[in-house]
Amino acid sequence: MNMLIRTINLFACVVLLTQCQKVELPASDEGAPVFTLQATIDGAPIDIVAGDSGYVMDPSFRVDTTGVPVYTGTFRELECAAGCLPFISVSIRGSAPGSAQPDTDLQIGAYPFLEPAGSTTEISYRIRFSGEHDTSVEDSPVAYSWDFGDGTSSSQQSPEHEYPDDTPRRVALETINAAGCTSSVEKVVAFQPLTVPCEVDFTIQLPQGASPAQAVFNGPFNNYQTWFWPGGDSSMLTNYPIFQLLPQEIREICLTAVNTEGCQAQTCQSVFMGNAFELGYCATDFTYQALVDTTFTPAPAQFGTVWIEYGDETGRIFSSALGVQDTVSGNFFRIFSREPFEPSENGQPTEKLEVSFQCRLYDSDGQFRGILSGTGAIAVALP
């Protein structure tokens, strides 16, 4: 009997311990990506994960020029202004002008594509220039003189200039500092990356011991088919000696080069005899950033529609709204689910949308680019 009682007590303890034992839950998916897109363009895969591979999901909200709310979610490269990874943007136009009604504007179901009829697209081509002046002496103030290659000019150090199209332009910058030293640079700027840059540069090396000062060509030399130092010297020497200067003399040294694509560029620097018979110099250069901005104004009375934009690595932008969609062949857009999500970095409320689509993409001239299809999760901002 005692043995039976002890057995029962032991069994009761085991049961009690089992009931009190901590249950291990499976690991949470808290760190899993929320916004992803698996897409193809003409069959080539595009897999985007926000927070990975440099991409972020950028939700936004605006009211267009006709007073219709527009909800947009964009997969784009983080902190990139030029030469960026491709982006994909989805915009959903509200069901009517006036105040935003997310419950009505963002319903689960199929959406028609925004048609090009009556819509307008304006593309602006801008370049942000940054002028640079280098000298061995006090250079303040420096006067800047730009020639933008289209008959216009500027005296700012770092101007921004708009061009009517994306044709490459030959741009020149000349500077003169407080010491009266003048230098200049002339090169070709382009909105699409040039196969071979159309620019040339050299460095002034001051005298070293018994060696005279000299101008030293900055390569890579295989970018050029020929170059010329002052006097039309076409010997293609990489160094150009600068012999003794007279007091108060300012000597300009120009290097002109023709690259392997046949494009000519030039840079001119000056040397002069300063105080205590020390050689001084000044040089000019500039950098630039090309920007292409597309402003699309949709046709009126097309409510509850959607359009999709795709920007490639070269900065060209294509849109579903720049041509007709063929729904017979399977072009479609659908929202499968929607749910509230955390506020954006701007503090706007957002919603997460599960979407799927297929559309035809066109350029600004209405030329067919290809078929874009995809499925995934995006975020749009609310007002």
The CATH number linked to 178 is 2.60.40.10
Does 21 have pLDDT greater than 80?
no
Contact 72, 383 (CB under 8 A): no
Q: How many CB atoms lie within 10 A of CB 379?
A: 22
**Residue 4 pLDDT > 50:** no
Q: Which DSSP symbol is given to 104? A: H
Q: How many domains does the chain have?
A: 2
Q: What is the pLDDT of residues 291-339, one digit of tens each?
A: 999 888 777 789 999 999 999 988 899 999 999 998 887 899 999 999 9
Q: Using CA atoms, how far apart are residues 380 and 383, in angstroms rounded to an integer? A: 10
Shared-domain flag, residues 153 and 283: yes
Instruction: Please give the Cα distance from 173 to 159 (Å, whole number).
Output: 11
Output the pLDDT for position 121: 83
Q: Are residues 189 and 283 in the same domain?
A: yes
Check pLDDT > 70 for residue 22.
Answer: no
Pick the closest to residue 159 from 177, 146, 172 (CA basis).
Answer: 146
CA dist list (Å): 243 to 148, 150, 279, 383: 35, 38, 11, 70
Residue-level pLDDT at 170: 97
Q: What is residue 211's DSSP assignment?
A: B
CA distance 93 to 70: 5
Helix (H, G, I), strand (E, B) or coil at 21: coil
Report the share of the chain in percent with pLDDT over 70.
89
pLDDT at 5 over 60: no
Q: Residue 36, exposed/middle/buried by CB under 10 A (0-12, 13-18, 19+)? A: buried
**Are 173 and 273 found together in one domain?**
yes
Mean pLDDT of 55-67: 93
Does 72 share its domain with 153?
no
Average model confidence (pLDDT) across the chain: 87
Q: What is the pLDDT of residue 144?
A: 97
Asked whether the predicted pLDDT for residue 99 surpasses 50, the reply is yes
Tell me how far CA of residue 270 lies from CA of 16, 98, 220, 242, 243, in angstroms: 93, 63, 23, 11, 13
Please indicate, yes or no, if residue 82 is contained in any of the structural domains.
Answer: yes
In a domain, 2, yes or no: no
| Rounded-to-integer distance, Cα 244 and Cα 278, Å | 11
pLDDT at 107 over 80: yes
pTM for this prediction: 0.52
78 assigned to some structural domain = yes
Residue 11 forms part of a structural domain: no
Residues 129 and 222 in one domain: yes
Query: Which residue among 291, 308, 326 closes a domain?
Result: 291
Model confidence over 83-95: pLDDT tens digits? 788 999 999 999 9
pLDDT mean over 58-69: 93
Q: Which has the minimum average pLDDT: 132-146, 196-210, 232-246?
A: 232-246
In a shared domain, residues 184 and 268:
yes
Percent of the chain past pLDDT 90, that is, above it, reads 65
Q: What is the pLDDT of residue 313?
A: 86
Indicate if 279 and 153 belong to the same structural domain.
yes
pLDDT at position 52 is 76
CB 120 within 8 A of CB 319: no
- Whether residue 21 is contained in a domain is answered as no
Instruction: Taking residues 110-129, report their average pLDDT.
Output: 89
Domain that holds residue 361: 36-119+298-381
Same domain, 303 and 287: no
**Confidence tier at 234 by pLDDT (50, 70, 90):** low
Residues 138 and 284 in one domain: yes
Q: Residue 160 domain-assigned?
A: yes
Name the strand (E) or helix (H) holding 127.
strand 120-135
Q: What is the pLDDT of residue 276?
A: 65
The mean per-residue pLDDT over the stretch 146-165 comes to: 96
Give the mean model confidence (pLDDT) for residues 244-271. Answer: 92
Domain final residue pick, 291, 306, 326: 291
Asked if residue 201 and residue 58 are part of one domain, the reply reads no
Same domain, 374 and 226: no
pLDDT interval class at 57 (50, 70, 90): very high
User: Does the residue 28 lie in any domain?
Assistant: no
The residue from 291, 322, 344 where one domain ends is 291
- Sequence-distant (≥ 6) Cβ neighbours of residue 92 within 8 angstroms: 70, 71, 72, 105, 106, 111, 305, 306, 380
pLDDT digits (tens, 9 = 90+) for 236-253: 789 999 888 888 788 999
pLDDT grade for 136, boundaries at 50, 70 and 90: confident
Rounded Cα gap, residues 197 and 267, in angstroms: 14
- Look at residue 103 and tell me whether its pLDDT is greater than 80: yes
Whether residues 134 and 103 share a domain: the answer is no
Q: Say if 257 falls within a structural domain.
A: yes
Residues 330-358 pLDDT 10s? 899 999 999 999 998 889 999 999 999 99
